[in-house]
Structure 1
Amino acid sequence: MPHKLMRIHRAEPLRPAMLAIAGDSAAGKTTVTRGLTEALGADRSTSVCVDDYHRYDRAERCGLPFTPLHPACNHVQIMEQHLQLLAMGQPVLKPVYDHRDGSLVRPRLVEPRDLVIVEGLLPLHTKLARACFDVTVYLDPPEPVRHAWKIARDTERRGYTREQVLAELARREADSSAFVRPQQREADIVVRFEPAGGGAGVPLSVTLLLRPTVRHPNFARILSGATSSAAHLTLMRDSDGTPVDALHIHGNADPLEADVVAKAIWHDLGVPEPLPGCLGRMPDGSRNEPLRITQLILLHHLIRAGVWRIPGE
């Protein structure tokens, strides 16, 4: 289906709201997605990882001249077909890639709920894929931070040595530059987590680049009751030189002040349910307020796209 026709079908009522979260390996996609799906619940949300569309298993890739970041290493056309079906409320039989041992295992039936969250390396790679989404996000941590996260994850949970991870990062760089990072230009929101003040071992802050490709919450009004030590809004230049709003959430702010920001965003929605307590949870079990507020902003977009019916609308 052509991408323009797909956009027409996306305008029909009674279809799922679709969110894409793109980014390089270990950029934080799964952490962000996990909080959203837990907040919404299994009866409202479905999550899909498009890395499951890898064409080759880990053993087969050893003899190939490209990495999993390259479109040729993935069933991109099947991914596009499945995204179209999910966007129109239809189930798909999705392939499954097991990251623990790099094998391709039995496919899984995926039935879309009110909300479908799609995360992975290449969800925004093609026009047709992008046309399936209501909101698109790209996670863009500084490369030294992402490398540290990938080393920690792959050595602790995937059985690699530090040397193997560093070698794989070097091998993937060309494909990352050619295929993954260009998706940043296609995102409605660019999210950049980094240590507050740039130092290691300090809380993560976040900057959200809010492009005018979608309607964002009125943060000037929402933040009017919060202190600038927790969050502030500035005007920046995008990669093409156009002005764009940037929301900064400070990782070293007082948790009580950050909580004021979180509650203000939730209150702005008018949802008759309590603020989800699972948001902001890090893999180690701690809570990070910039992550929590980032997830709240994404929930804000999704709820406005139709996950909940808001009184008076």
Structure 2
Amino acid sequence: MLRARGSGRRPVMLAIAGDSAAGKTTLTRGLVQCLGADRMTAVCVDDYHRYDRAERSGKPFTALHPDCNHIDIMEQHLQLLSMGEPILKPVYDHSTGELVRPELVEPRDFVIVEGLLPLHTRMARACFDITVYLDPPEPLRHSWKVRRDCAKRGYTPEQVMAELDRREPESAAYIRPQRKHADIVVRFAPVAGRLDPPGTPLSAELLLRPTIDHPDLADVLDSGPAGTGADRTETAMHLRLHRDTDGRPVDALHVHGYVSPEESQVVKKAILEHLGPRAGTALSDPGVLGQLGDAGTSDPLAITQLLLLYHLLDADHRQAA
């Protein structure tokens, strides 16, 4: 539903930043489906590309460079959305590489903004309640990009790898620095040192920075059905203290891909219980969480999405209080 103007409440804004083919759209899709399209607006800031694909081929920079994007218009539109105002958003068609007719976007209760540069400027970052950066290992991201761009965008593997090489300096200069501005850094990757059977979902590591209030996950780890003990839940998820890139200690939540559905369900149920009655009324279809399209489902993805839903609903609840 559209957030009524003058109600004193604004949309809850979530940013999901990351490099090309980092998994932003997959993560966003489950959130929209679970909360319902009638309550959530999804915006891709890659639509603010200044040039189409043909024009970019003659430029000395790639789509990752701020000069290749209308950053000033993006900032203005993010401010309007955060205040509950509609925007006329440009549209970039990834399948053709063309800029097409703009579309009217009206913010609903929740707004997810995903793309390459949503956290690039201070003004843009100020618009968000929750910020996320997707940080898969580069070899894994490269394989995802080759698979996607060859299947959906008409490239050859050689063309994709050449473009990745061309983009690398700008990834290092403009995309990866956004990581330091995220409340949550998510990395999907295999567990180092394990030889899991083919088809095992990737595990997830989530750095939970103290810039927002996270749910008390110690309760999740300590709880479990009678007779299972805490170790059963810790198989699915556990917290460890890590050193962030700046040397500061930060909680790292590990969600392993090799857990059984029964074990992961313990964790999902516990997070839902943290939401209380809000979960039953706000989440239209929790069963869609963790879906990977044709590649099946992933419990680490589902739990990651559920944690983000917690933050969205918690921020909305705080506004209403």
Q: What interval of TM-score do these two structures reach, taking the shorter chain for normalisation?
A: over 0.9
Please name the residue that 1:282 is paired with: 292
TM-fit CA distance, 1:197: 3.5
Counterpart mapping for 1:216-235 below 5 A? 216-226=214-224, 227-235=233-241
Q: Compare 279-288 and 211-220 and name the one that shifted more.
A: 279-288
Count of equivalent residues: 300
User: Paired residue for 1:136, among 128, 131, 137?
Assistant: 131
**Residue 207 of structure 2 is aligned to residue 209 of structure 1:** yes
Letter in 1 for 2:202: L
Deviations 1:243-270 (A, max 9, x none): 1100000000111101110111011101
TM-fit CA distance, 1:236: 0.5
**Residue 223 of structure 2 is aligned to residue 244 of structure 1:** no
Please name the residue that 1:17 is paired with: 12
Residue segments in structure 1 that go unaligned for 5+ positions in a row: 1-11
Please name the residue that 1:185 is paired with: 180
Q: Secondary structure at the match of 2:294?
A: coil
Q: Secondary structure at the match of 1:306?
A: helix
Please name the residue that 1:45 is paired with: 40
Deviations 1:42-68 (A, max 9, x none): 110000000000000000001000000
Letter in 1 for 2:14: L
Counterparts in 2 of 1:179 and 1:309: CA distance versus 1, 3 Å: closer
Letter in 2 for 1:252: Y
Q: Secondary structure at the match of 1:197?
A: coil
Query: Is the Cα contact below 8 Å between 2:201 and 2:300 reproduced in 1?
Result: no
Please name the residue that 2:142 is paired with: 147
**Residue 84 of structure 2 is aligned to residue 89 of structure 1:** yes
Deviations 1:134-188 (A, max 9, x none): 0000000000110010011011111110000000000000000000000000000
**Residue 76 of structure 2 is aligned to residue 57 of structure 1:** no
Q: Secondary structure at the match of 1:60?
A: helix
**TM-score computed with the length of structure 2 as normaliser:** 0.90
CA distance in 2, matches of 1:136, 1:88: 17
CA distance in 2, matches of 1:308, 1:130: 20
Deviations 1:177-213 (A, max 9, x none): 0000000000000000002336684420000000000
Query: Is the Cα contact below 8 Å between 1:139 and 1:190 reproduced in 2?
Result: yes
Query: Is the Cα contact below 8 Å between 1:222 and 1:268 reproduced in 2?
Result: no
Please name the residue that 1:302 is paired with: 312
Counterparts in 2 of 1:252 and 1:197: CA distance versus 1, 3 Å: farther
Please name the residue that 1:175 is paired with: 170
Letter in 2 for 1:74: N
Letter in 1 for 2:10: R
TM-fit CA distance, 1:223: 2.2
Q: CA RMSD in A?
A: 1.7
TM-fit CA distance, 1:285: 5.0
Q: Secondary structure at the match of 2:234?
A: coil
Query: Is the Cα contact below 8 Å between 1:22 and 1:183 reproduced in 2?
Result: yes
Counterparts in 2 of 1:110 and 1:308: CA distance versus 1, 3 Å: farther
Please name the residue that 2:267 is paired with: 261
**Residue 154 of structure 2 is aligned to residue 159 of structure 1:** yes
TM-fit CA distance, 1:238: 0.7
Query: Is the Cα contact below 8 Å between 1:115 and 1:307 reproduced in 2?
Result: no
Query: Is the Cα contact below 8 Å between 1:265 and 1:296 reproduced in 2?
Result: yes
TM-fit CA distance, 1:131: 0.1
Query: Is the Cα contact below 8 Å between 1:114 and 1:307 reproduced in 2?
Result: no
**Residue 25 of structure 2 is aligned to residue 30 of structure 1:** yes
Query: Is the Cα contact below 8 Å between 2:86 and 2:106 reproduced in 1?
Result: yes
CA distance in 2, matches of 1:111, 1:296: 25
TM-fit CA distance, 1:309: 9.0
**Residue 199 of structure 2 is aligned to residue 196 of structure 1:** no
Residue segments in structure 2 that go unaligned for 5+ positions in a row: 1-6, 225-232
Query: Is the Cα contact below 8 Å between 1:223 and 1:264 reproduced in 2?
Result: no
